[in-house]
Amino acid sequence: MNVEVRDQLGTAERAFRAGDVGGAREGFIGAGTLAAGFQLWKTTTRCYRHALELDLFDREVLARLVGLVGRGGHAVEWSEYARAIDRHDWPHFGCRAAQLVIGDAGAFVECPGVGPVLDITMPDSELVEAQPVGRFAGMPIAMAMIILRCALWPLGLPHAVPPRSVGIGFAGRKPVVLDELGEWRAI
């Protein structure tokens, strides 16, 4: 990763930890714009995903991700994401503090302010199945991957080299592999 981009990401993270969500958002967008200037498309996408973690319904950030068509990433999934938030009247929420909750009644991912968003099962040791809870039916896969990354690998934990990963089945779709950096690919 480019040093300037890394510095901008560090500034954004510090702003978030200080409670300055607006400053963090601008920092992540700025880091993404910087990365795009260096044609670091995976890094650009990662920076914009960090901004979406603050508000999963940030249309400006989503438009930037959709605009990366042809530069790697998940163009179809980002377009699907943008259409889904236009079609649904879901409450705005972020997922940086998403938690995996396991109890007698099962497992789910919960996000502050909205409660459970994904039901979780683990049909085998290599695969996590995620299903949107009722009111979030129609959740796009890109949104689910952002939420799951935050729930499975909480911020502040050191990243492994290579990044840890897990198989994810989502809403009956073909499984993907999600890594702790937020990248996903078909199995």
Q: In what order do the strands lie in the sheet with 127-132?
A: 99-103, 106-111, 115-124, 127-132, 165-170, 176-179, 184-186
**Would you state the structure tokens that stand for residue 2, as one six-digit string?**
């480019």
Each residue's pLDDT tens digit, 15-48: 999 999 999 999 999 999 999 999 999 999 999 9
Instruction: State residue 72's pLDDT score.
Output: 65
75 pLDDT higher than 80: no
Each residue's pLDDT tens digit, 98-115: 999 998 878 999 999 999
- Separation of alpha carbons 63 and 179, rounded Å: 24
- Identify the helix (H) or strand (E) that includes residue 184: strand 184-186
Omega before 162 cis (within 30°)? yes
Indicate the pairing of strand 165-170 with strand 127-132. Answer: parallel
Q: Classify domain 3-87 by CATH number.
A: 1.25.40
Cβ atoms of 52 and 23 closer than 8 Å: no
Mean pLDDT computed over 149-175: 89
Mean pLDDT computed over 58-81: 86
Instruction: State residue 35's pLDDT score.
Output: 96
70 pLDDT higher than 90: no
Instruction: State residue 158's pLDDT score.
Output: 73
List the domain boundaries for the chain: 3-87, 99-186
Instruction: State residue 126's pLDDT score.
Output: 87
